[in-house]
Structure 1
C-alpha cells in the first residue's frame, strides 16, 4: 500500500468568488460567480457550457426546492462532531470532500460520516492545483485519497470530486471523467473559515443567498457554521425545502428521460 507524508501545512483554502486566478498561460479557471440575494440560481457565464460538456455540476436546476449540503474538510478544528450530531438529529444527508491530511488525522470521524449515511467526496490527498500537475500525478492524488478512505471506513470507492482551491480547466475535467469521477462545484458559499462573527452572521449569509437546487459549500472549521446549522435546516424545512444527497440528484439526472419516476 502506498503511503505519503504530508510535508506542506494545511492552509485556509478556497477563495470563492474570483475569476482566472492562474497565469494566462496555465489555462486554468478559478470557480466563481456573482452572488445574488434574489433567491435565484447564480449566473456562471461561460462555465455553464464547460460543465455541461464534461458532466460536472454546480446546482440542481430542476426548479425543485432541494438543497444539497457539502463540506470541505482539510483539517479538524473540533466542530465536526457537533455538525454530525445536527445532521443526525435532523435526518439530513451531506457530502464531505476530504483531503489526505484529514483522513489520516481523523479516521474515526471519516468512519462516523460513512456509518451515518453521508458520502465521502475526493478533495485530493495533498490539495495541489490540478492544472499544473501531470495526469499521472492527478490520478495518484485521487486514488491515494480513495484508498485512504477505504482503509478507515465502509466506503470503498468515491465518485464525486471537488478540485483543490476550486481550480480547474477542460483538461482536468476530462482527466477526472476518464478516471470515473464527477466534478461537483457549488452555487452557494461564503468566506466562512476566517474570523468568526457569530452564528447569526453565518445564518444570514446563507439565507440571503438560498435558492432552489443549491449545492451549498461549508467548512467544518467554522464554529459559526456549527452553531447556525440547526437553525438553517429547521428554517429551510419550514420554507418547504428538502435536503437530499448528491446521489439523489446526480443519479436521477443521469437517468434516461422518462425513467425518473421509477
Structure 2
C-alpha cells in the first residue's frame, strides 16, 4: 500500500513540474518596416516629410517658384530725362560753328549757349581753375582795350583769390560758375550737381557778390539731367565755339602761334574760351583784340544771348 501511494505521489509531482517548465517557442518576426517593400517605405517617408513640413516653408518655396519682375534701378535719368553723358565738341564749317545735333538740340531746349548770332560779335570768356600769375595782366589789358569778358571761377579759385574775384567784378566783368570742385557733372546725382553750383554761389555771397546764372560744365561734359537740374534753379550752361590747347602751363604755344590760332577761330558769333593760366594768352591778348577790332568785330556780353 505504501508503495502504491509513493508511486502515485511521484507521478503527480512529475506532471506538475513539467507543466511549470513549459516555454512557448520564440517567433522571429521582422520589424514592421522590414515587412514593407522598398518602394512602399519610400512613399511612407515622403508622406511623413510632407506632413511635417512647416506651413511657412511651403509658402516660401511657392514664392520662389514665381518669377518676380525686376525692380527698377534708380538713376538720375528718371522721368524721361536722359542721364546719358555727352562730351561737347564744335566744328568750324563754312564760317559757322556746329556741334552734334543731339547736343545742339539739348542746349536749345535748356537755353544753353555755345555760339551767338551770326553777326560780327565775339564773346570773350576765361576759365579760372587756379591762379598762375597771369590774371592781373589779362585784366589790365581788358581795361586798356575797353573790353568786357566773362570769367568762370571754381570754388577753390574764389577761396584762394578773393581779391582777384572782387577786382573782376568791380571792373564790370561777368563772373561765371565753374563748379566747386571741377567734377564730371554727368556722373553726379541732381542733388550733387546742385551742390556743386550752389557752393560757388555761397562763396561769392561771402565776398558780397551776387550769384551768377551762367555755368560752364567742366571739360564740356554734360547730360540732359545736368542741363535740367541747373535750368530748374536758374542756371544756363555756357560752352564755346573756340578753344585750343592753352592750359598746359609747362607746354605753352609760342605767342605768335597762339595769336594766329585764336584769330583763325574767331568767326561771327564765336564764344571764345581761353585759360587765364596761359602765359601766351596774357602776352598776345591785346594784339588779338586790336586785330579783331580792325576786322570790324565788337565784343559782346553773355547777358545779350
Q: Considering the TM-score relative to the shorter chain, is it more than 0.5?
A: yes
RMSD: 1.4
Matched, 1:122 2:177: yes
| More helix, by proportion | 2
For residue 205 of structure 1, what is the aligned residue in structure 2?
261
How far the C-alpha of 1:26 sits from its partner, in A, is 6.3
Larger relative CO (CA 8 A, sep 6+): 1 or 2? 1
For residue 32 of structure 1, what is the aligned residue in structure 2?
89
Q: Confirm or deny: 8 A CA contact 1:41 1:187 kept in the other structure.
A: no
Task: State the Cα deviation string for residues 120-160 of structure 1 (Å, max 9, x = none).
Answer: 100100111111111111111111101101222x4312110
For this pair of structures, how many residues does the alignment match? 221
Which of 90, 113, 129 is the matching residue for 1:57?
Answer: 113
Which of 168, 190, 206 is the matching residue for 1:135?
Answer: 190
Gaps of 5+ in 1: 1-24, 251-262
Q: Could you tell me the TM-score, scaled by structure 1's length?
A: 0.81
Task: State the Cα deviation string for residues 163-198 of structure 1 (Å, max 9, x = none).
Answer: 111110111111110010011110011111121122
For residue 164 of structure 1, what is the aligned residue in structure 2?
218
Which of 218, 225, 236 is the matching residue for 1:182?
Answer: 236
Q: Could you tell me the TM-score, scaled by structure 2's length?
A: 0.70
Which of 240, 248, 260 is the matching residue for 2:296?
Answer: 240
Which of 155, 179, 195 is the matching residue for 1:100?
Answer: 155
Q: Confirm or deny: 8 A CA contact 1:146 1:157 kept in the other structure.
A: yes
For residue 88 of structure 1, what is the aligned residue in structure 2?
143
Point out the structure with max Rg over C-alpha. 2
SS of the residue 1:42 aligns to: strand
CA distance in structure 2 between the partners assigned to 1:222 and 1:122 by the alignment: 20
SS of the residue 2:124 aligns to: strand
